[in-house]
Amino acid sequence: MSWIDNHSKQLTEKRVKLFLIIYYSVGLAGFLIPGSRSLFEALIPLSVLINLFLVLLFHKLFDQRHVLVFLGVMLFTFAVEAIGTKTGLLFGSYFYGPSLGFKVFETPLLIGVNWLVLAYGATAIVRSFKALRRWVPFSAAALMVVFDFIMEPVAMKTGMWSWAHDVIPLQNYLMWFFVAVIVVGVLELTAIKTVKPVAARLFWVQMVFFLVLNFFL
């Protein structure tokens, strides 16, 4: 890669990182202003798709193996969520609201997309630490559970999903860890190379976004 190509690549990444900060800052304002909250709740599916687009844009390598793995992750996690929603046996008793868009089997189609984006970002982050590379599935899964812990109260307030009696069970976090270990383990076993800069920034920006909303929403 020439110096110009490399410089252009870095500049593009910088622009996307800046876009993420601006986009989620506007999102914070939109959710915190009562008059605009319903509009921004309606835009959640668009945000999920934008996140996927940015991750895939910088992933770049799309041979048959990568496509099949990504599709497999989305289908697997959708199936797990659908079973969980229907039975209440996996994560606990919960149901999805309207904010995540079109549903099949009472489960948003985009939920698998969200799992893929989070798993990709967490894997990219953990792989950047040499000491954690032997334990990537477990370390990334732990990071995803922390993310879910921060996200859950906001998800309930914004119509993404609700828990029976408004109580988030410990079972949910245990299942999140278990499913995340499987998903990240698949990324490891199939040697899917994760591209860190944008995916990692997206993961951290979303985490801060939900953390702020936890305090002020």
Average pLDDT over residues 12-19: 86
Lookup result for tokens 């509009």: 39
Distance of alpha carbon 49 from its chain centroid, rounded? 11
Q: Tell me the pLDDT tens digit for each residue of 96-153.
A: 999 999 999 999 999 999 999 999 999 999 999 988 988 999 999 999 999 999 999 9
Q: What range does the domain containing 100 cover?
A: 3-216
Q: Are 187 and 194 in contact (CB under 8 A)?
A: yes
Q: Tell me the pLDDT tens digit for each residue of 157-188.
A: 999 999 999 999 999 999 999 999 999 999 99
pLDDT at 32: 96
Has residue 31 got a pLDDT over 60?
A: yes
Q: Tell me the pLDDT tens digit for each residue of 33-73.
A: 989 999 999 999 999 999 999 999 888 777 889 999 999 99
What is the count of structural domains for the chain? 1
**Distances from the Cα of 59 to the Cα of 18, 51, 66, 121, 140, angstroms:** 18, 12, 10, 11, 18
Has residue 20 got a pLDDT over 70?
A: yes
